[in-house]
Amino acid sequence: MRRLIVRYEKDIASSNIVDTFVARGGWAEAGVDDEGHRYLSKGDDMVIFLEHKHIRAENIDESAIRFGFRPDVVIFPSVHSAKSGIPALTVHPIGNYHEALYGGESGRLAPTCPSVLSDMLRSIRRNCAISEYNICFEATHHGPYLKTPAMFLEIGSDESCWGRQDAADVQCQVLSEVTELNDYVSVIGIGGGHYAPRFTELALSCKVNFGHMLPNYQMDGFDDEDIARSIKSAMDASGTRLAYLHRKSMKGAQASRITALAESVGCEFVKSEDFEKITEN
């Protein structure tokens, strides 16, 4: 699997994670492209150095392709910001179901790779011995828009956490471990809140990969056509027609409505009992 890892100079978590990863050795200077991006290479991995904000690095995969490296997946190490300030290690797909307030394109999701996304979450859990850190998925949000499967790998949630080396060490190990695809079933997640506790729980305990996640707040107040469009976009950008619905996060009438809308765009639902348990993680 060919990975493009994006280092954003002005993001302390991004620079710490990538610099720690590179310090393990074996990297070589690969050159500078016509846009001024510096590259390091090692095997199937390439690091690209960004001077501008990563959430607005639209089509950065195409810069790498023009340089001669065609990635299978693009990973953005980054800070995670939350008003709560709760320490967190997160991973999430990217895109905008509606207005693009923080990079990307309105109404468009970047492709993601459910296998890599979910194995990163499992790797965080396996390697994190920092008791105060919350380990979780986040629902799909923000930019940039790319045509290559992509995700953000983050340290949160405020300045007291972003620069911590122990957190960077965990995410560095995640980059070291998640280099191949698994053969688990892939689904999109529908329902729940932004931090997707049910999808996190299932990915950590079962052989299921989550791709894009459509939380309740991206459906509340929107009409049927919009919800159906969002579900179809999530399926298309995750490469699956299967979905897991967090039924307990919504009232029965809403669950029935969402189910009908999803089925109208070709979605098939699976239940937690359909997933094989992970014996070791």
Q: What is the pLDDT along the chain (281 residues), one digit of tens a residue?
A: 999 999 999 999 999 999 999 999 999 999 999 999 999 999 999 999 999 999 999 999 999 999 999 999 999 999 999 988 899 999 999 999 999 999 999 999 999 999 999 999 999 999 999 999 999 999 999 999 999 999 999 999 999 999 999 999 999 999 999 999 999 999 999 999 999 999 999 999 999 999 999 999 999 999 999 999 999 999 999 999 999 999 999 999 999 999 999 999 999 999 999 999 998 65
Please tell me the distance from the alpha carbon of residue 165 to that of residue 162, in angstroms, as a whole number.
9
Query: What pLDDT, on the 0 to 100 scale, is given for residue 280?
Result: 67
Q: How far apart are CA 92 and CA 203, in angstroms?
A: 13
Q: How far is residue 19's CA from residue 268's CA, in Å, rounded to a whole number?
A: 42
Q: Rounded to the nearest 10 degrees, how much is the dihedral formed by the CA atoms of 104, 109, 111, 113? A: 110
Fold assignment, 185-274: Rossmann fold (3.40.50)
For residues 188 and 238, is the Cβ–Cβ distance under 8 A?
Answer: yes
Taking 3-state DSSP, the helix, strand and coil percentages for the chain, each rounded to the nearest 5, stand at 35, 25, 40
Q: Which fold has domain 3-177?
A: Aminopeptidase (3.40.630)
Where does the chain hold its CATH 3.40.630.50 domain(s)?
A: 3-177
Burial of 180 (0-12, 13-18, 19+ CB in 10 A): exposed
| Three-class secondary structure of residue 80 per DSSP | strand
Angle between helices 252-264 and 224-238 (to 10 degrees): 60
Number of DSSP helices (H) and strands (E) in the chain, helices first? 8, 12
Q: What is the pTM of this model?
A: 0.97
The CATH 3.40.50.10700 portion of the chain extends over: 185-274
Q: In what order do the strands lie in the sheet with 208-214?
A: 208-214, 185-190, 242-245, 268-269
Q: Do 73 and 148 meet the contact criterion of CB atoms below 8 Å apart?
A: yes
d(CA 268, CA 257): 14
